[in-house]
């Protein structure tokens, strides 16, 4: 309350309200469900060394090899992803939207580079999209 009242004095009946830090907002970039699912799969691909390589910038990862469809699902490292959750991997509009948000740099259809923000963005969907186990 300092600086609001002259001399630092405040009225005796004024209530002090402690400053509480707000929790981080979920999905601050307002990605739509398809963009969120696609980013979740891309983040999983970052952990698959065969999918690409680190760089070119610090904290970035470039994906050059995308998983092939196997019946109605994809294998992404140790995870299985439903084909319906991975449709954005092959959708130029989704790549462009993620690029506009600063999460990726797209070179459609050859490669996509996740920026540090894209690698660390909490989609909140990993448990829903990435399933462990095999067939």
CB of 113 closer than 8 Å to CB of 27:
no
Every domain of the chain and the residues it spans: 33-132
Does residue 21 have a pLDDT over 70? no
Integer distance in angstroms from the first to the last C-alpha of the chain?
A: 62
Does residue 3 have a pLDDT over 50? no
pTM higher than the cut 0.85 = no
Q: What are phi and psi of 76, to 5 degrees?
A: -125, 95
Q: Residue 16, class by beta-carbon neighbours within 10 Å (0-12 exposed, 13-18 middle, 19+ buried)?
A: exposed
Pick from 92, 79, 93: nearest CA to 128 = 79
> In this predicted structure, what is the pLDDT of residue 71?
82
Query: Tokens 């462009």 belong to which residue?
Result: 96
Query: Could you read off the pLDDT of 26-49 as tens digits, one per residue?
Result: 899 999 999 999 999 999 999 999
Q: Which letter does DSSP use for residue 22 in this model?
A: P
Domain formed by 33-132, architecture: Orthogonal Bundle (1.10)
Does residue 25 have a pLDDT over 90? no
> In this predicted structure, what is the pLDDT of residue 26?
86
Contacting residues for 95 by C-beta, under 8 A, at least 6 apart: 88, 104, 106, 108, 112
């Amino acid at each position: 309350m300092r600086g609001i009242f002259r001399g630092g004095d405040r009225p005796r009946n004024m209530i002090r309200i402690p400053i509480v830090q707000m929790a981080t907002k979920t999905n601050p970039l307002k990605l739509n469900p398809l963009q969120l699912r696609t980013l979740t799969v891309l983040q999983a691909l970052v952990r698959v060394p065969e999918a690409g390589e680190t760089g070119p910038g610090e904290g970035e990862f470039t994906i050059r090899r995308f998983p092939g469809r196997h019946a109605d699902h994809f294998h992404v490292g140790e995870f299985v992803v439903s084909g319906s959750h991975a449709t954005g991997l092959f959708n130029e509009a989704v790549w462009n939207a993620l690029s506009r948000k600063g999460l990726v740099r797209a070179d459609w259809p050859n490669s996509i580079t996740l920026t540090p923000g894209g690698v660390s963005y909490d989609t909140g969907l990993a448990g829903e999209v990435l399933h462990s186990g095999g067939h």
